[in-house]
Amino acid sequence: MLLQDKKVAIAGGGPGGLTLARLLQLKGANVKVYERDVNRQVRVQGATLDLHYESGLKALREAGLMETFKLAYRPGADRIRVTDEHARVYFDQHGEESNDDFGDPWFRPEIDRGPLRELLLDSLQPGTVIWDSYITGMEKNGEGWILNFHNGNSAEADIVIAADGANSKIRPLITPIKPFYSGITVVEGNIYDADRNAPHLAVLLKGGKIFAFGNSRTIILSSKGDGSIAFYTGFNTGTAAAKASAINIKEHLQVLEWFKEEYHSWDTVWNELFEHPGTSFTVRPLYCMPLDQAWPAQHNITMLGDAAHLMPPYAGEGVNMAMLDALELSEVLTGNSFTDTLPAIAHYEQQMLKRFTEVAGITLDNTSWMHSPEGLKKMLEMFNPTNYQ
């Protein structure tokens, strides 16, 4: 095995990094995951994740974790409602027969980020994850690397895999290529105890997902297993983005006033997203890596997930691509097809970038039409094209 007697360091304990650690450990590799969170009890933010048969679920199958996943996923959370800005429902999957067939390539079960991380963490050998390890930089150490952390600690590794997300500290050691702005900014939030703090939206959501369209803007809501609602309000760049970036996101009344102004044509029911003082917000401009990005492979460093191919979230492929990256990287590093790590990593990166080019093109197209005057119409055509010619 290429990793015989080698120390592998994975930077980042998200789904991609943890999946890779699990897959490598199954083949006997010496792996450590360095995660910036202080401990595993830190609450995981973000919307629910729908895992796909050919990527995220495939990685879990190879990792021997499908039965555990079936106990942790949320049946029915994948059901979608499509509305306009007045909260009128145009498409509703809640009346359809439930499909929980894990052999169906079109079944995309939902799981919250927290439970997914927990099941991956529980699958690792004790001591695999080194918490409170925010990487501040790396330096070469012979044929390997020294990783330096904010807490003053350091670690040695023969091979480093960057799974540290959009603001990766390791990516610049692989390529200087930077992402470009997609033209869309989102204000992201999470409403805890939604039945009490956003009761009308909780009823509208019905434990699933909502895609709302109006005036070239979007709102996407996802129910979570802890009773909260995660949401994204998306809008084209311009004054809305500038004003959103200028507000004090810790002051919910300022965010509410911004929303009332920029989403003035939307029904007041959506104000519940911003009315509760306990809701936290993040202003997030959406970036994408160039579709033609490429770089020369190195024998002791590579990357996966958002660190490698950041893109907007409007195709649901982010976590799935990261987990598929983990699977394919584990296969080239532990299989018998290569006799050296350089051609193995080069092969992985070529396949990963080819896949990214295709998926990112679809994602950018989705991002564009969803934030256009035709957004609602095009979304409905996706679900029932014969009715919207």
- Vertex 311: Cα angle to 190 and 137 (nearest 5): 90
Q: Which residue in 212, 236, 267 sits closest to 91, CA to CA?
A: 212
CA 289 to chain centre: 15
Q: Is 78 annotated as a binding residue?
A: no
Q: Does residue 130 share a domain with residue 161?
A: yes
Whether residue 386 lies inside any domain: the answer is no
CB atoms within 10 A of CB 368: 16
Residue 246 has pLDDT above 90, yes or no: no
Q: Does residue 254 share a domain with residue 243?
A: yes
Q: Is 50 annotated as a binding residue?
A: yes
SS3 of residue 83 by DSSP = strand
Whether residue 231 lies inside any domain: the answer is yes
What are the residue ranges of helices labelled H in 214-296? Answer: 239-246, 252-262, 272-275
SS3 of residue 281 by DSSP = strand
Residues 6+ apart with CB under 8 A from 101: 107
Q: Does residue 171 share a domain with residue 187?
A: no
Whether residue 333 lies inside any domain: the answer is yes
Q: Is 122 annotated as a binding residue?
A: no
Q: Is 355 annotated as a binding residue?
A: no
Whether residue 313 lies inside any domain: the answer is yes
Residue 34 has pLDDT above 70, yes or no: yes
Q: Does residue 273 share a domain with residue 312?
A: no
Whether residue 91 lies inside any domain: the answer is no
Phi-psi region of 201 (alpha: psi -120 to 50; beta: other; left: phi over 0): alpha
Rounded Cα distance between 17 and 323, Å, is: 8
pLDDT of residue 5: 94
Buried b (16+ CB within 10 A) or exposed e, 151-176: eeeebebbbbbbbbbbebbbbebbee
Rounded Cα distance between 228 and 194, Å, is: 5
Per-residue pLDDT tens for 304-329? 999 999 999 998 899 999 999 999 99
Per-residue pLDDT tens for 43-61? 777 778 999 999 999 999 9
* Per-residue confidence band for 240, with pLDDT thresholds at 50, 70 and 90: low
Residue 41 has pLDDT above 90, yes or no: no
**Domain that residue 45 falls in:** 7-74+109-178+290-370
Q: Looking at residues 265-294, what average pLDDT do you find?
A: 94
Residue 22 has pLDDT above 50, yes or no: yes
Residue 254 sits in a domain of what CATH number? Answer: 3.30.9.30
Q: Does residue 57 share a domain with residue 32?
A: yes
Whether residue 279 lies inside any domain: the answer is yes
- Vertex 223: Cα angle to 220 and 227 (nearest 5): 140
Residue 71 has pLDDT above 70, yes or no: yes
SS3 of residue 388 by DSSP = coil
Q: How many domains does the chain have?
A: 2
pLDDT of residue 1: 82
Per-residue pLDDT tens for 78-102? 999 999 999 999 999 998 877 777 8
Global pTM reads: 0.94
Residues 6+ apart with CB under 8 A from 109: 50, 51, 57, 69, 73, 74, 75, 78, 100, 102
Residue 300 has pLDDT above 70, yes or no: yes
Whether residue 208 lies inside any domain: the answer is yes
Q: Does residue 115 share a domain with residue 188?
A: no
Better-predicted residue by pLDDT, 88 or 246: 88
Q: Does residue 304 share a domain with residue 281?
A: no
At which of 242, 272, 288 does a domain end? 288
Residue 147 has pLDDT above 60, yes or no: yes
Q: Does residue 39 share a domain with residue 162?
A: yes
